[in-house]
């Protein structure tokens, strides 16, 4: 399992030479300060971004960030009196949000990251069953994340920090005391690395073009992107084959100062954003299902269309046609594998970005981000073979084949790609019927269907509360009589002020737990549940 932070909430970025820290602790003092002026020779650069894991329960999770700072100091990296509102669920699947690049952070050691949040709101997919919407409580309006050891900003160097926040385990759906509010208590994966910010996936940054330069043919070459909401400027260099889109595919000569744009690309070793696509003005970004294979509408097979059905709650609700153009529309799967128009298949899900043409009946896409088809449902049975397992699900009795992994580097699941949702490997012995599973399918295998991975939903999804009565590690008996087995490698984080318990052996009678995992299978008389992630709370 990955190292995890369980405090509450999110933020931060890119990685090179990544070091994953297990962070603990919430609360702490106040303070102000900080600068974003370039030029201090005793300073380095800190880049901060936000990411999120998928959630099946919410269509939006909106947070307002008012400050991100490093301690001791504090040294403020980002500050906004009104708060920067971000929909975390727009930044899943490695689609990180770049919050801030601060080029003038004092070069020295730090031991804590502080995040201040003024507001949290959520929009569930099912309002009739909604528990957490606007009635959400953060234990305090700030979160202190404490690495085990220090991290350094070096003179002239770059510190890249990425906080990946797990929305599936974000809310304790039990009312908090007399307030009746839901507790916001997410799991956070924190990566901190020195050196070049490296991103597997392209990022999207938005702002206004400031200073701009052109080459001797009149094509835009470099510009400064001014991000007023984020209070920073990003230097952008355009690739020689950059795609510029304003509803049509045009040349970069149309770009000029004060133009509002979105730029797709990656940072290089000098923190210059290498732009591969520039989108002028507003575009639609819509998620949904691909309903048909590609249909080429020209004789040269360069322009094709497919039918697209938006998910409920998207900005456009009715199905429409999406037009892609070979060589101009970026078509990606897994965010970094380029595909051709003919690779678009019915049954895939997609995020399409573009503008409507032809009387609002066709969306011309500048980018299509594809995901393999997924099947979700209840596991009815699984049948082992020499080389894999056949999973039978309650979705029309569909059978999905799960092959062994090719690299035998997993500890206890016989190399099968079966995971708890947003967490580590699930032993095959816990893959009993009634489990809710999500199979991510190989898009090019149909007979039989083949799963590239299987995700098992925690039970219950929002987690459980309990108080330790007896510790016979790795089994804890709770005051309600439940026996909880701590899986090898389970993440345990002490969220209490000054807390440091990170082992099941440290837990004592009276400790309050908030834990995630799976209920025992029928016939398992030794324990009642299996813990993958555990927070020790006040």
So what's the pLDDT on residue 22?
33
CATH assignment of 464-537, among 3.30.300, 1.10.10, 2.40.50, 2.115.10: 2.40.50
Beta 303-310 vs 337-338: how paired, if at all? Answer: unpaired
Quote the CA–CA distance of 139 and 500 in Å, as a whole number: 19
So what's the pLDDT on residue 309?
94
Angle ∠(29,33,34) on CA atoms, nearest 5: 125
For 203-280, CATH gives: 2.40.50.140
Q: Which two tokens stand for residue 485?
A: 């087995």
Phi, psi of 432 (to 5 degrees): -90, 170
Q: Which CATH superfamily is domain 284-371 in?
A: Nucleic acid-binding proteins (2.40.50.140)
Q: What is the largest CA-CA distance in the chain?
A: 77
Q: Which two tokens stand for residue 149?
A: 């050891």
22, 50 contact by CB (below 8 A): no
Alpha-carbon separation of residue 160 from 142, 368, 438, 445 (angstroms): 21, 28, 32, 38
Q: Which two tokens stand for residue 517?
A: 């995992």
Domain ranges in the chain? 5-194, 203-280, 284-371, 374-456, 464-537
Contacts of 103 (CB under 8 A, 6+ apart): 36, 37, 38, 43, 45, 271
Q: Given this chain, do its domains 203-280 and 284-371 carry the same CATH topology?
A: yes
Task: Provide the whole-model pTM.
Answer: 0.66
Q: Which two tokens stand for residue 219?
A: 């094509």
For the sheet with 171-172, list strands across it.
Answer: 136-137, 182-184, 171-172
147, 193 contact by CB (below 8 A): no
490, 2 contact by CB (below 8 A): no
- Tell which residue, 363, 371, 353, has the closest CA to residue 323: 363
Burial of 396 (0-12, 13-18, 19+ CB in 10 A): exposed
Query: Per-residue confidence of the chain (538 residues) as pLDDT tens digits?
Result: 333 333 322 222 222 223 333 333 333 333 333 333 334 458 998 888 887 665 556 677 788 889 999 989 899 999 988 888 888 777 765 567 788 888 899 999 998 888 888 888 877 666 555 556 666 766 667 777 766 668 899 998 888 887 777 655 555 544 455 555 676 666 666 678 776 555 667 888 899 999 999 999 999 999 999 998 888 889 999 999 999 999 999 999 999 999 999 998 888 877 889 999 999 988 888 989 999 999 998 778 999 999 999 988 788 889 999 999 999 999 988 777 889 999 998 888 898 999 998 777 899 999 998 888 888 889 988 887 767 778 888 877 788 888 876 554 444 445 678 888 767 788 888 888 889 998 888 877 777 888 888 889 888 877 788 999 999 999 999 999 999 999 887 888 777 766 666 788 889 999 999 888 999 998 888 999 999 888 888 7
Burial of 261 (0-12, 13-18, 19+ CB in 10 A): buried
């Amino acid at each position: 399992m990955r190292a995890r932070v369980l405090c509450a909430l999110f933020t931060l970025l890119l990685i090179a030479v990544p070091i994953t820290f297990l962070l603990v602790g919430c609360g702490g003092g106040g303070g102000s300060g900080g600068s974003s002026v370039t030029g201090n020779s005793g300073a380095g650069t800190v880049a901060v971004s936000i990411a999120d894991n998928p959630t099946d329960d919410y269509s939006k999770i909106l947070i307002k960030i008012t400050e991100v700072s490093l301690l001791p100091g504090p040294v403020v990296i980002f500050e906004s009196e009104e708060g920067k509102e971000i929909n975390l669920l727009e930044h899943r699947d490695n689609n990180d949000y770049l919050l801030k690049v601060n080029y003038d952070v004092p070069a020295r050691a730090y031991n804590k990251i502080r995040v201040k949040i003024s507001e949290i709101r959520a929009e569930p997919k099912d309002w009739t069953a909604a528990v957490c919407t606007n009635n959400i409580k953060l234990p305090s309006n700030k979160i202190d994340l404490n690495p085990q050891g220090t991290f350094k900003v070096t003179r002239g160097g770059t510190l890249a920090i990425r906080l990946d926040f797990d929305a599936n385990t974000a809310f304790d759906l039990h009312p908090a005391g007399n307030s009746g509010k839901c507790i916001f208590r997410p799991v956070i994966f924190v990566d901190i690395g020195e050196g070049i910010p490296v991103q597997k996936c392209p990022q999207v940054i938005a702002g206004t073009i400031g200073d701009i330069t052109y080459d001797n043919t009149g094509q835009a070459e470099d510009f400064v992107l001014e991000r007023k909401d984020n209070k920073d400027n990003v230097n952008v260099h355009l690739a020689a084959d950059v795609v510029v889109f304003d509803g049509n595919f045009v040349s970069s000569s149309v770009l000029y100062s004060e133009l509002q744009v979105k730029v797709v690309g990656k940072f290089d070793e000098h923190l210059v954003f290498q732009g591969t696509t520039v989108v002028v003005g507003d575009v639609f970004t819509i998620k949904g299902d691909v309903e048909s294979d590609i249909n080429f509408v020209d004789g040269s097979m360069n322009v094709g269309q497919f039918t697209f059905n938006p998910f409920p709650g998207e900005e456009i609700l009715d199905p429409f046609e999406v037009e892609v153009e070979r060589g101009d529309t970026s078509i990606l799967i897994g965010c970094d594998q380029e595909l051709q128009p003919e690779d678009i298949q019915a049954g895939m899900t997609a995020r399409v970005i573009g503008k409507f043409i032809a009387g609002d009946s066709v969306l011309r896409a500048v980018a299509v981000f594809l995901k393999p088809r997924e099947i979700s449902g209840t596991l009815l049975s699984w049948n082992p073979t020499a080389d894999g397992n056949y999973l039978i699900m309650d979705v029309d009795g569909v059978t999905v084949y799960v092959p062994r992994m090719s690299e035998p580097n997993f500890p206890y699941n016989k190399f099968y790609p079966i995971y708890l949702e947003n967490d580590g490997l699930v032993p095959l012995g816990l893959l009993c019927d009634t489990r809710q599973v999500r199979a991510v399918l190989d898009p090019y295998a149909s007979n039989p269907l083949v799963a590239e991975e299987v995700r098992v939903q925690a039970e219950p999804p929002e987690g459980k509360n309990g108080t330790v009565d007896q510790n016979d590690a790795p089994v804890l008996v709770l005051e309600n009589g439940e026996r909880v087995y701590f899986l090898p490698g389970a993440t345990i984080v002490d969220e209490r002020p000054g807390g440091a318990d990170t082992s099941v052996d440290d837990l004592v009678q009276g400790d309050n737990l908030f834990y995630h995992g799976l209920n025992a299978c029928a016939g398992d008389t030794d324990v009642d549940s299996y813990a993958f992630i555990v927070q020790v709370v006040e």
